Structure 1
Amino acid sequence: MSFVKIWVHLVFATKNREPLLQKEFRYDVYKHVSENCIDKDIFLQAINGYSDHIHCLISLGKDQNISKISQLIKGESSFWINQNNLTIEKFAWQDDYFAVSVSESQVKTVINYIKNQEIHHSKKSFAEEVDEFMMRYGWQTIKDN
């Protein structure tokens, strides 16, 4: 029997980082994503976000990869948001996403970080958060290259 436990912190934003995930329905989106993950055998440990992005903590299964997981979560959730007319304009996620591995010793810290997105973003914008991630993890956007 194979055993795989690879934690991934996955972050993706709304198209053009538009603040489309309004507080009135944001938690319905998280609930729907959680239910969809169960249906698709994606182990989602934590989900939360803000008006323009979502954070997920996922444990990859032995036959899963980040690209496919991201595609399943983003594709189905944008379809559901549009089907339920939750936004005035057509909803879409950006094509890109951010994903980093998380060590077992940091899982609780990442869960708390994800759970506290409302508080976190009352002090720091998503753009500032992205810049912080870029510095911490040493990656650049295409335009920076």
Structure 2
Amino acid sequence: MSYTNLIYHIVFRPRSSAPVISPGHAEGLYRYIWGFVKEKGAVLYRIGGMEDHVHMLVQLPASLSLSSFMHDLKLSAGAFMRSNADKFPRFDGWGKSYFAATVSMSGKDAVTQYIMNQREHHKRFDFREELLRLVRKNGIEMDERFFLAE
């Protein structure tokens, strides 16, 4: 038996950061993602975001790699959005990249609050600024020409 605590703060976005997730339909997308996460044997502590990106605080089982989880999530959530084109008419796919950083149990509440307060947070910072701050804070090197261009 493995004893793990793999909690991730994940941020992903539609292709070209297009604002395709309207506030009126975001809840339906988030519920769909919650079901996907549950089906994978993972735990979704919090989900939220803005029109142009999604934040999740999720605990993955040791048997599930982050990359396969994100691959399957984007495929599944993309299919959901395409099948609900009346609610997400401008959606044309997810960006290739995503941000993910591990979160300790002691940091879980702070990240939960951060996700809950996205609307307030984005009155001061746009997605690009937010992403760069998260990347730098977590010591990740990123060539933003590639991440933000896709």
Is the TM-score greater than 0.5? yes
- Structure 1 ranges of 4+ moved more than 3 A: none
Q: Deviation at 1:64?
A: 1.0
Map 1:99-118 onto structure 2 (within 5 A).
Answer: 99-118=100-119
The one-letter code of the counterpart of 2:107 is Q
Residue 89 in structure 1 maps to residue 95 in structure 2 = no
Contact (CA 8 Å) 2:14, 2:91: kept in 1 or not?
no
How far apart in 2 are the matches of 1:90 and 1:142? Answer: 22
How far apart in 2 are the matches of 1:23 and 1:106? Answer: 27
Q: Aligned residues: percent identity?
A: 26
Contact (CA 8 Å) 2:13, 2:54: kept in 1 or not?
yes
Cα offsets for 1:99-137 (capped at 9, x unmatched)? 111111101101111111111112211111012123222
Contact (CA 8 Å) 1:42, 1:69: kept in 2 or not?
no
1:13 corresponds to which residue?
13
**How many residue pairs align between the two structures?**
144
Map 1:60-139 onto structure 2 (within 5 A).
Answer: 60-85=60-85, 86-138=87-139, 139=141
Distance 1:79 1:107, change over 3 A: same
Q: Secondary structure at the match of 1:47?
A: strand
Distance 1:135 1:82, change over 3 A: same
State the superposition RMSD in angstroms: 1.6
How far apart in 2 are the matches of 1:119 and 1:46? Answer: 16
How far apart in 1 are the matches of 2:145 and 2:81? Answer: 30
Task: Tell which deviates more after alignment, 105-114 or 127-136.
Answer: 127-136
Task: Tell which deviates more after alignment, 22-31 or 135-144.
Answer: 135-144
How far apart in 1 are the matches of 2:135 and 2:3? Answer: 31
Give unmatched runs, 5+ long, in structure 2. none
The one-letter code of the counterpart of 2:15 is K
1:23 corresponds to which residue?
23
Q: Secondary structure at the match of 1:123?
A: coil
Q: Secondary structure at the match of 1:122?
A: coil
